[in-house]
Amino acid sequence: MAIVWPCSTAVDAYAAAGRDVEVPKAACPACSAPMGSWSGYFRFVRHDGAVHRVFIPRGICPPCSTTHALLPAFCLRNRLDSTETIGGVIEAVASAGGVRPAARRHDVPHTTARGWVRLFAARAQRVAVAFAALGVELGGEVEKPPRDLLRAALGAIAAAYDAATALPGWIRIGRWRFVAVVCGGSLLSANTNSPWLIVGTRRFMPPVP
Ligand SMILES: [Zn+2]
């Protein structure tokens, strides 16, 4: 299983650290036992038009005898492009329409961008409901969602992020990294792992979008 942790480091700085990236101690997503370090692997991530090679450490849970990849929040599972790139394209399409200009601005192929928007749109209702619930749990305001599902999902994400950043102990990681943490790195995938989100010392388990 992959765990996405709220990394605030810039992608190039993270890549430059190589194997020496500092990752906070994580708890096992299955049994909550503290995990130890267990090697890791390199993968690629495309961000701002450049491809970076980044180290993904693994944690090991002794009681479960299982290892878990510790993904920084700028990585989504099974996606080459960074969380911010994918989120930026979705936001641009929702606000201005037109996949082509959004793809051009973010330096990604048009067909790739179109695929992201379709996948996100297909899950928009579940995302809207889950993030609206999370926003309320985090102490945010309840707002009437717009009819447009894509905008409703983005509005709920923005409201939940604002509520999270208003709480003490939450580090500002940017809205889309926040989304990756909540969704366990699988915003565009059909299957989601147990999402987890820690604000200060409190652990939230939002509904799976
Ligand atoms: Zn475990």
User: What's the Cα-to-Cα distance from 49 to each of 12, 130, 154, rounded to whole Å?
Assistant: 12, 31, 24
The pLDDT value given to residue 202: 54
- The Å distance, Cα 27 to ligand 1 centre, comes to 8
| Selection from 146, 147, 97, 134 nearest residue 117 by Cα | 97
d(CA 39, CA 137): 36
Report angle CA 94, 95, 97 to the nearest 5 degrees: 65
Residue tagged 């700085």 (tokens): 13
- The Å distance, Cα 38 to ligand 1 centre, comes to 14
Q: Flag whether pLDDT at 209 surpasses 50.
A: no
Local structure of residue 6 (DSSP, 8 states): -
Work out the pLDDT band at 110, boundaries 50, 70, 90: very high
What predicted TM-score, i.e. pTM, was given to this entire model?
Answer: 0.87
Cβ count within 10 A of residue 51: 11
- The Å distance, Cα 34 to ligand 1 centre, comes to 8
Tokens of 108: 């990604």
d(CA 194, CA 30): 9
- The Å distance, Cα 196 to ligand 1 centre, comes to 15
- The Å distance, Cα 66 to ligand 1 centre, comes to 7
d(CA 82, CA 135): 24
d(CA 93, CA 80): 20
d(CA 103, CA 86): 10
- The Å distance, Cα 101 to ligand 1 centre, comes to 45
Mean pLDDT of 75-90: 93
Work out the pLDDT band at 197, boundaries 50, 70, 90: low
| Selection from 139, 202, 203 nearest residue 165 by Cα | 139
pLDDT digits (tens, 9 = 90+) for 25-60: 888 888 888 999 999 999 999 998 899 999 999 999
- The Å distance, Cα 69 to ligand 1 centre, comes to 13
Q: Flag whether pLDDT at 195 surpasses 70.
A: no
User: What's the Cα-to-Cα distance from 177 to each of 65, 89, 101, 154, 163, rounded to whole Å?
Assistant: 29, 14, 23, 14, 15
- The Å distance, Cα 45 to ligand 1 centre, comes to 28
Work out the pLDDT band at 126, boundaries 50, 70, 90: confident
- The Å distance, Cα 35 to ligand 1 centre, comes to 8
- The Å distance, Cα 6 to ligand 1 centre, comes to 20
- The Å distance, Cα 95 to ligand 1 centre, comes to 42
Single-letter amino acid, residue 60: I
User: What's the Cα-to-Cα distance from 58 to each of 1, 39, 50, 174, 187, rounded to whole Å?
Assistant: 10, 6, 25, 24, 21
Q: From the centroid of its chain, how far is CA 81?
A: 12
